[in-house]
Amino acid sequence: MSRERLTITIRDDMLKKVDRMVDNIRVRNRSHAIEVLLSRALSSRSIKHAILLAGGKGTRMRPFTYEIPKPMIPVQGRPLIQHQVELLRKYEVKEIIFSIGYMGDKIKEYFGNGSRFGVNITYIEEEKELGTAGPLNLIRDKLDDTFLMFNGDVLANIDLNDFVSFHEENKGLATIALTAVPDPSRFGVAKLRGDNILEFVEKPPPGKEASNLINAGVYVLEPEILKYIPKGKAMMEKDVFPKLAKKGRLYGYHFDGQWYDTGTPEAYEKAIKNWKGVE
């Protein structure tokens, strides 16, 4: 795409904010930062739906999950999944679909139709566990445009506008939010070529990791992804993303915001102590 040189005058305080965007990874320099900001401001696209995966049994979090579903475990006085709802509301994504299963009635009882949280919540119910991809088959008729999806056990403070803009620029079928961790050998590590995800290497030996970036459990997806999801229980990580990676249609978005996994009691304790909420 051709570009034209432009000279502008800007306040010093605003320029400092522009310069803070430059990370030499996603934003190369001051000029690129201004282009990114203009692209966000002029974009007419908006995300209509977000899907929150809240149907798992949370076996690693027992005994807590004998009595409450994992997405409802409290983090600083609010259910874990409420923090995701608040992030979506902040970015004006107000049509939210909960995929529920185990103890789903407790989730419905607390959130209802979402009105007291400033959003509209509907539910799909998994009669048996369908994994991280299978639930999408239950709402094929509603997924007619770009949508967001969250794993129900993560806390992430991510700029959703920038995330979606990045996805649109690359024109992929799926974009995975990637976060850096000190010890990536405990996770599935992203192997990248530029912004393209080539594969995830599961729990590589320490010192042999392709990167320190892991799947943060937040996705931007296109409706076409439904073609790649088999019937019944299916996992994004094993059944869908590898197919997209081979076709060069899977991208990774590296973000620096807060991120916490709550999959184990140790990780949950860390999240409770350090999570700063949706700013």
Q: List the catalytic residue out of 108, 171, 203, 227.
A: 203
164 and 261 part of one domain: yes
Whether the predicted pLDDT of 175 surpasses 90: yes
Instruction: Give Cβ neighbours of residue 230 (< 8 Å, ≥ 6 apart).
Output: 239
Q: How far apart (Å, rounded) are the C-alpha atoms in residues 231 and 229?
A: 7
* Catalytic site includes residue 203: yes
pLDDT tens figures, 185-225:
667 788 888 889 998 877 666 666 667 888 899 999 999 99
119 and 23 part of one domain: no
**How many other CB atoms are found less than 10 A from the CB of residue 13?**
7
pLDDT mean over 141-162? 91
Looking at residue 143, which CATH number applies to its domain?
3.90.550.10
25 and 49 part of one domain: no
18 and 135 part of one domain: no
Domain count, the chain: 2
37 and 74 part of one domain: no
Residue 245 lies in a domain: yes
pLDDT tens figures, 91-110:
999 899 999 888 889 999 99
**124: confidence class by pLDDT, cuts 50, 70, 90:** very high
22 and 58 part of one domain: no
Instruction: Tell me the residue range of the domain where 20 lies.
Output: 12-41
Q: What is the pTM of this model?
A: 0.82
State residue 44's pLDDT score.
43
State residue 67's pLDDT score.
77
DSSP for 139-184, please give it.
Answer: GGGG--S-EEEEETTEEE---HHHHHHHHHHHT-SEEEEEEE-S-G
Residue 209 lies in a domain: yes
